[in-house]
Amino acid sequence: MVSVGTVVWLSSELMFFAGLFAMYFTLRSTSGELWALESEKLNVPFALINTIILVSSSFSCQFGVFAAERLQARRTGGLFSPLRWGMVEWFFLTFLLGGVFVAVQAFEYAMLVSEGVALSSNAYGSAFYITTGFHGLHVLGGLIAFLFIIGRAYAAKRFGHFEATSAIVTSYYWHFVDVVWIGLFIIIYFLK
């Protein structure tokens, strides 16, 4: 039941992001010269590295799901033996990678603001910050969810199917957020 509810909720989130994409394309179609001028200020290699960080967090998240499905909450070996990590260790790594993504995105915002691209500067700035900003808020929501799931794993007397299901549906959300970013990244940084 939780999985179905999560998928239905993610469908509404998909509609939300579809609206943001529509806004972006509408503003872009009416301001072509502005888009060409402002998009030159983007640091594509920097954003690509940040994208790789976020996509790699999807892999660590999925390894955490595999551990949760085995009902293995915590590691059975040393900290530097990732093959023996449990859900908690993989989700901590996912949390760390997601946190790095948000920090790098905030740094990118600061760089763009210093170059005159702000939320209120023009249509490009508005579209860029609204689309990437809402995505960033969704990433922050996912990070909070990971902390909740990790805390629940520590609080549980016995890690069972209830805790594993919570971890699995949290991964649905995280993978969704990653896929949305891939779409945003392609549209904002590469689509001319």
Alpha carbon dihedral 192, 110, 184, 143, in 10-degree steps, equals 170
Q: Which alpha helices (DSSP H) does 31-155 contain, by range?
A: 32-39, 44-69, 87-114, 123-155
Percent of the chain with pLDDT over 90: 76
- Answer whether 189's CB lies under 8 Å from 42's CB: yes
- pLDDT of 1 > 80? The answer is no
Angle at 148 between CA 146 and CA 152, to 5 degrees: 115
Per-residue tokens: 95: 């949390």
Each residue of 41-97: pLDDT tens digit?
A: 999 999 999 999 999 999 999 999 999 999 998 888 878 888 889 999 999 999 999
Each residue of 124-136: pLDDT tens digit?
A: 999 999 999 999 9
Each residue of 22-41: pLDDT tens digit?
A: 999 999 999 888 988 999 99
3-class state of residue 31 by DSSP: coil
Name the phi and psi angles at 76, rounded to 5.
-110, 0
Instruction: State whether CATH 1.10.580.10 applies to domain 2-190.
Output: no
Alpha-carbon span 144 to 91, nearest angstrom: 11
